[in-house]
Structure 1
């Protein structure tokens, strides 16, 4: 970030950290709701499988029918296997969401801790900015924000412009 821009106060950077933590916490709530909905679907499908298996078990009480290409019971078992495969896919999605939730929670806590640390130990905006940029780089924070630019990204996009201007001057001399 260039030194000729507006001076930002430590309090503004503390607020930025709190805002980022709040946004991440909101995303955690959304992902938790999505995971809960998937778990409800899994429960419903498990109940359906159990009912179908119970019905199938009740229908097997008679004499064994001669083998054929596919009986209604085989078709029912194929359907149950399809539902089971779908369940496994949903369970994997829930596990992936849980992993993401934990990562988002950790980053939100990191922002909250950083904001508190900056508030109590940093005296100027430039130092606060540096701490946040380093934190965001270490945590790969931009990957967590789809619709919002982090300070790290802002700083990164401003730096190449200065380099590009110097490069353009060099190109003009050639």
Structure 2
């Protein structure tokens, strides 16, 4: 047992898990705001396209000749549609990512609630390491070191 092991406590890991959960939920709030803004932009663009199409349909009598001089620019509409579909796919991917962050936050919260049952700090550490390994937690914290990363770094230093 090294000197650092004596300082380990289940309470410290509870606090760590609660902090991680709060950080994740903060990121979820940020992502949610960004997604809402993107969806609002998409809705506005869809309304604009509908308005253009409806306005064009009302103004046209007879056969429509596509093109800049002859009426509806089909290529431009198709480009807009492709752009919108791409941006909708980005929004859907961001929503999935947001759910993954929420799930990890819930996991940390549940782990924090269970850790006081750990016999000691080493047992709590083991449970946190297992949790972070199973959930690939370091991938969610590019700017913050997780316990798993710190332990791996410590193992590397001991080698």
Instruction: Name the TM-score, length of structure 1 as normaliser.
Output: 0.84
Partner of 1:9: 9
Write the distance in 2 (CA, Å) between the matches of 1:102 and 1:154. 26
Structure 2: gaps of 5 or more residues:
none
Q: How many residues align?
A: 158
* Offset from partner CA, 1:75-130 (integer Å, 9 cap, x none): x33222222111101110111011111111110000000010002x1131111111
Greater radius of gyration (CA): 1
Which residue, out of 91, 100, 105, partners 1:94? 91
Determine if the alignment matches structure 1 residue 79 to structure 2 residue 45: no
Aligned pairs (5 A) from 1:35-114: 35-61=35-61, 63-64=62-63, 71-74=69-72, 76-114=73-111
Write the distance in 1 (CA, Å) between the matches of 2:104 and 2:9. 23
Write the distance in 2 (CA, Å) between the matches of 1:64 and 1:117. 71
* Offset from partner CA, 1:12-57 (integer Å, 9 cap, x none): 1100000000000001111111110111011101101101101221
CA RMSD of aligned residues (A): 1.9
Structure 1: gaps of 5 or more residues:
164-174
Partner SS, residue 71 of structure 1 = coil
Write the distance in 2 (CA, Å) between the matches of 1:20 and 1:155. 16
Write the distance in 2 (CA, Å) between the matches of 1:146 and 1:106. 18
